[in-house]
Every structure is written in C-alpha cells, then in structure tokens.
C-alpha cells in the first residue's frame, strides 16, 4: 500500500495530539536527492516495551482509539520507508515525548510522492486540542516556517471553512515561493 509521505506525517501529528503533546515540531527537508521527515513532540512518550508494541500492526493502546482495534500508523510508516530504501528512527521516553525521523531516497522507484503539503499542514493544525505546531520546510530553493499560534493570531481560529481556506492559501503561497523560477541573476 503506497500512501503519500504527507499521510504519514499527518498520522504522526495525530498521535502526538492524542499523546497530549503541547509542542509538536514537524520538518521536511530535501537535500542531495533525499527527503527527511521529522516529527517531534513533548507528549506522554513511551517506554521500550510500549514502543515495541506500537510497531506491531495488531496492537493499539487500550482506549486510545475507541473505534479501532489495530494501530497501523507506525507499522505502515516503517514498511513504506523500508520499501523505499530509507531509514526510520523512532525514539521515545516516558514522560518526555517521542521523535520520529525518516529518510527517503527520492530516486527510488518505491518512494511515494510527497503529497499535498499545504493541506496536510493545515489539517495538522486543525486537530482538536491545545498544542503548538511548528512546521518547517527546507529545499535547495529556500525554506519557510509556519506556526499554528501565528496563524491563529492572524485568523483567530483554524476551524471555520473560511479560516481553513485562508490558512491553506497562506501555506500554499509559502510552498509555491520555494519553486518560483528565479531571474537571470538568481533574484
């Protein structure tokens, strides 16, 4: 099953929100034909035995997902990255938080597409809960950073249809600025 990379990012953020994280940082960096995805939070965290169970597709934390009996997010992520010849590093400490770092070889035929970054970022900022999410994107063409608190300050919320549309347009403009053709002198 090939999903886009943004789907995995969104699931990781959802896990962070469900783990009561108050701070979540997400980064996508492209460098030398590689794409690096990072999601770090200060949520509940996991000890080694819980982390091992989190990688089992037939296990989910009791009560975490009332309507589901399996937790497939991390197992799918590990499979997706492995199929693409990349690497996954998941670290977690109980009471401190969790960090997921993935690398994808963008030349590998099995590497899924990145996906819709602006929509994914806005969706990640729209989960119910009190948390700060900082998203950063870095390519050879440039970089940008978007914080949930800054968007909420400008829009007052990210839950109505109009504010979601404006937030998406803003992130889309940041994303598009990375790929605008440069002038003759690199300007």
**How does pLDDT run across 72-88, given as a tens digit for each residue?**
678 888 888 999 999 99
At 88, is the secondary structure helix, strand, or coil?
strand
187 vs 168: CA distance, rounded Å: 26
Rounded Cα–Cα distance for residues 86 and 2 (Å): 14
- At residue 172, what are phi and psi to the nearest 5 degrees? -60, -40
* Cα separation, 148 vs 134, whole angstroms: 6
**Distance of alpha carbon 5 from alpha carbon 10, whole angstroms:** 9
pLDDT beyond 90 at 181: no
Tell me the pLDDT band of 43, cut-offs 50, 70 and 90. very high
User: Residue 25 in contact with residue 13, Cβ under 8 Å?
Assistant: no
Q: What is the mean pLDDT of residues 107-127?
A: 94
Q: Tell me phi and psi for residue 90, to 5 degrees.
A: -115, 120
* Domains, the chain: 5-177 (3.30.565)
């Amino acid at each position: 099953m090939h999903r886009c990379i943004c789907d995995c990012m969104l699931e990781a953020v959802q896990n962070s929100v469900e783990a009561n994280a108050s701070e979540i940082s997400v980064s996508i960096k492209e460098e030398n034909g590689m794409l690096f995805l990072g999601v770090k939070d200060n949520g509940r965290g996991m000890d080694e035995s819980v982390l091992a169970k989190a990688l089992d597709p037939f296990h989910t934390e009791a009560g975490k997902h009332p309507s589901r009996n399996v937790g497939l997010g991390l197992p799918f992520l590990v499979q997706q990255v492995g199929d693409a010849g990349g690497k996954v590093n998941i670290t977690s400490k109980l009471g401190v938080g969790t960090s997921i770092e993935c690398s994808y070889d963008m030349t590998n035929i099995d590497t899924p597409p990145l996906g819709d970054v602006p929509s994914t970022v806005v969706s990640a900022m729209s989960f119910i809960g009190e948390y700060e999410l900082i998203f950063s994107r870095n390519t050879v063409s440039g970089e940008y950073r978007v914080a949930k608190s800054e968007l909420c300050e400008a829009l007052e919320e990210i839950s109505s249809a109009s504010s979601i549309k404006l937030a998406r347009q803003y992130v889309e403009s940041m994303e598009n600025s990375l790929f605008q053709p440069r002038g003759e002198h690199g300007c």
